[in-house]
Copies of this chain bind each other. A is one copy, B any other.
Amino acid sequence: MAEVGYNVAILGATGAVGTRLIQQLEQSNVPVKSIKLLASTRSAGKTLQFKQKDIVVEATTPESFDGIDLVLASGGGSVSKKFAPEAVKRGAVVVDNSSFWRMNDQVPLVVPEVNEDALYQHHGIIANPNCSTIQMVVALAPIKQQFGLKRVIVSTYQAASGAGQTAWQELMTQSQAYINGEEMTADILPVKGDKQHYPLAFNLLPQIDVFEDYGYTHEEWKMIHETKKIMFGDKNTKAIKVTATAVRVPVPIGHGETVYFETESGTQATAAGIQKALATADGVVLQDDPAHQVYPQPINAEGKRETFVGRVRPDVENDDSFHMWVVSDNLLKGAAWNTVQIAERLVALNLVRVPKDASALFPTEA
């Protein structure tokens, strides 16, 4: 068999997620014929490595995508808005880690363990969901499959790195200042583009992304709409009720979530049955042994691709209602690994090709 492989470009290669995209791609079974690392003009010229080979980062232009088969994008919403159509027009399939394309009806929003089949409907762009959504739906999917799912109430404990490398660095700088008894400065968190900035170190910030309708943040709406789209194929479905509170905590890597959920009545769900379903589920590691103080912790999830679930137990006063505690590396399953995993599945399903109707995707941009 002749050597086959894809010409791959990584867009936003120098960020916290971008560097992990390179690493996850190295460790994947995507056959890479050539690799191109793209970033903003500011980051162009930096040298990074792919499989021990130096690669100079290039500034992104529309022509950067000539001859490219597959783009893994993590450059942010405005970058993906601008360049994903340019890449698709040139015949590349884009797996996009930004939020820009996620709610587009023509764009599959995919977590392979949950809705791999949605990949067959792609028109050139596949969206990678929000980090806090991904780990939750990985844990909920086997429960839904066996017991049905009517309602979810989630509270998040989200790591600083979810807001990027500079937010993560800010947490560490503030932490040292606090320990030294010095004043903490805040320029990035809770939201870089918002008006006020507050210290995260040794503190809690109940704001992730900007505020929108009904007093919910954009992050909270993402969790609601993305969960519905991934699990039920419709961002506005009434088949499941989802509500969320998103809180930033002083942790560098690894999101935690308390997930309260209600199964379909009549399915006789029990905590033991849910644990059993989770124990054999794809991408899930059940860490649930209270007698031995075994439960998921961010510090143990860092660098791992799996979603860790524990503290599974019933609400003793409400039928068919349960708690669980879900932790995952927000930069891997929450971003880089899920993106590369989508690429692996596209390769396996022979879907690294732009269909003829791709231009329907971006009528205004075309």
Q: Name A residues whose Cβ lies closer than 8 Å to a Cβ of B.
A: 151, 153, 155, 157, 172, 175-176, 179, 190, 194-196, 198-199, 202-207, 211, 214-216, 238, 241-243, 245, 247, 249-252, 254, 256, 258, 260, 271, 290-293, 295-299, 310-318, 321, 323, 325, 327
Which of A151, A199, A271, A317 counts the most B-chain CB atoms under 10 A from its CB?
A: A317
Could you say which residues of chain B place their CB within 8 Å of the CB of A254?
203-204
7 other A-B residue contacts (CB within 8 Å) besides A243-B260, A249-B249: A155-B258, A175-B175, A190-B293, A207-B293, A215-B290, A215-B313, A241-B315
Bound CA span A198–B295, Å? 11
Known pairs A250-B249, A313-B214, A317-B243; A297 contacts B203 (CB<8 A)? yes
Nearest CB of B to A37, in Å: 28
Known pairs A312-B215, A316-B214, A323-B245; A203 contacts B251 (CB<8 A)? yes
B243 touching A204 by the CB < 8 A rule? no
Picked from B153, B203, B299, the residue with its CB within 8 Å of the CB of A298 is: B203
Could you say which residues of chain B place their CB within 8 Å of the CB of A252?
202
Bound CA span A151–B256, Å? 24
Known pairs A249-B249, A323-B245; A196 contacts B293 (CB<8 A)? yes
Bound CA span A298–B202, Å? 8
A selection of 22 A-B contacts at a CB cut-off of 8 Å is A157-B157, A176-B179, A179-B179, A196-B292, A196-B293, A198-B293, A202-B299, A203-B297, A204-B249, A204-B251, A204-B297, A204-B327, A206-B256, A206-B296, A207-B293, A211-B290, A214-B271, A215-B311, A215-B312, A216-B313, A241-B317, A247-B258
Could you say which residues of chain B place their CB within 8 Å of the CB of A290?
211, 215
Known pairs A204-B157, A206-B310, A311-B215; A198 contacts B249 (CB<8 A)? no
Bound CA span A3–B315, Å? 54
Could you say which residues of chain B place their CB within 8 Å of the CB of A206?
256, 258, 295-297, 310-311, 325
Which of A260, A296, A323 counts the most B-chain CB atoms under 10 A from its CB?
A: A323
A204 and chain B: residue at smallest CB distance: B256
Nearest CB of B to A315, in Å: 5
A242 and chain B: residue at smallest CB distance: B317
Picked from B207, B271, B313, the residue with its CB within 8 Å of the CB of A295 is: B207
Could you say which residues of chain B place their CB within 8 Å of the CB of A256?
204, 206, 247
Which of A215, A243, A312 counts the most B-chain CB atoms under 10 A from its CB?
A: A215
Bound CA span A123–B342, Å? 66
Known pairs A250-B251, A313-B214, A313-B215; A198 contacts B297 (CB<8 A)? yes
A325 and chain B: residue at smallest CB distance: B206
Bound CA span A211–B242, Å? 29
Bound CA span A205–B238, Å? 34
Nearest CB of B to A261, in Å: 11
Known pairs A215-B313, A292-B196; A157 contacts B249 (CB<8 A)? yes
Could you say which residues of chain B place their CB within 8 Å of the CB of A317?
238, 241-243
Could you say which residues of chain B place their CB within 8 Å of the CB of A314?
214
A318 touching B241 by the CB < 8 A rule? yes
Picked from B214, B291, B296, the residue with its CB within 8 Å of the CB of A211 is: B291
